[in-house]
Structure 1
């Protein structure tokens, strides 16, 4: 790593905030998972209704896809954006290969989140509050890093694509809101959320 004055400080601050929010959600879900093991049958603090709850998600096989509770992935994984953001603010400059690996990691996180969203809505029929917090930061984190990498050509693209990514980077908030709306519409159509609440 080298120090540089040309650092993406806004991205760095966002990565730290997203990482902290993700860590909080993962920690809360881990505590709830421990509660399901120590006090089976008791409702969880994040169980608000049959529709809005974490219990069904945490106790399903989808909640431990790799043989251990999914929140443990979050506890470990969200440390990376925090570390990257803090390093950038400290003046670090990362090589292209590092940005590519970081982007691949976030792409994996997004793919996992999309799968979890589909399982939650279409299979379990629930909306887990802390899971939704995780979804809400994973989506913009992936978009922000991908657009940054495209605009800086860390991902090999043509100059035209890089310019388009630079323009879209300014539209990150509306794009994120659009993704949220897509999930909300799917949940509404499948679960009739508004009438159930």
Structure 2
């Protein structure tokens, strides 16, 4: 039974299905954040649906300079990037195999994207002092997209790594260490949020 579950987990259907689902969640969150950004631009005092308390407040995060780092709402980047990931996932589920250079480029670009997502999480967690549920969804979903994309690229040898390092990472992926690492990482993030804000999350 365990062997069967592992085969499913390493199948293209599971990997690209997870990538598709995660990218769709990120796209949905980016769309909501984009709409909220327009509402805040019209009225900085607008009451957003996810303004629950002082800690859970999309308005506080959306009004910060970090939310417009490049001069426009950061959510617009998600509206651009996630459809590309969705296209890759859907095409791959249909049997398309993209060139090695393309998958490597996708890895580089999405790595920059996930670094940016975690920079925003850090800013919210440490400096802004408020959390946006939609932003948290983006953080989690981009983590899952990054994990599945990395899994595929390590498995298929798309990253132009030295042979010894590539083989070691491929063995780690086959042993499901990537799934374990991502699970532990997300649990650490959740624990950090609870430890910092505690009951204020539900006040």
Quick one: which of 166, 171, 174 aligns to 1:166? 174
Normalising by structure 1, report the TM-score. Answer: 0.88
1:104 aligns with 2:108: yes
How many residues get paired?
188
SS at match of 1:93: coil
Q: Does 1:182 align with 2:188?
A: yes
Q: How large is the Cα RMSD of the aligned pairs?
A: 1.8
- Aligned residue for 1:4? none
| Superposed displacement of residue 196, structure 1 | 4.5
In the alignment, the residues of structure 1 paired with residue 76 and residue 83 of structure 2 have an alpha-carbon distance, to the nearest angstrom, of: 11
Cα distance in 1 for partners of 2:173, 2:155 equals: 5
Q: CA deviation at 1:161?
A: 2.9
Q: Take 2:157 and 2:92, find their aligned partners in 1: how far apart are those partners?
A: 18
Gaps of 5+ in 1: 1-6
Structure 2 residue 38 is matched with structure 1 residue 27: no
More helix by share: 2
What are structure 2's unaligned runs of at least 5 residues?
1-10
Output the CA distance in 1 between the equivalents of 2:87 and 2:186: 26
For 1:62 and 1:40, the matched residues in 2 are separated by: 15
Distance in 1, matches of 2:173 and 2:35, equals 39
Task: Measure the CA separation in 2 of the matches of 1:81 and 1:95.
Answer: 15
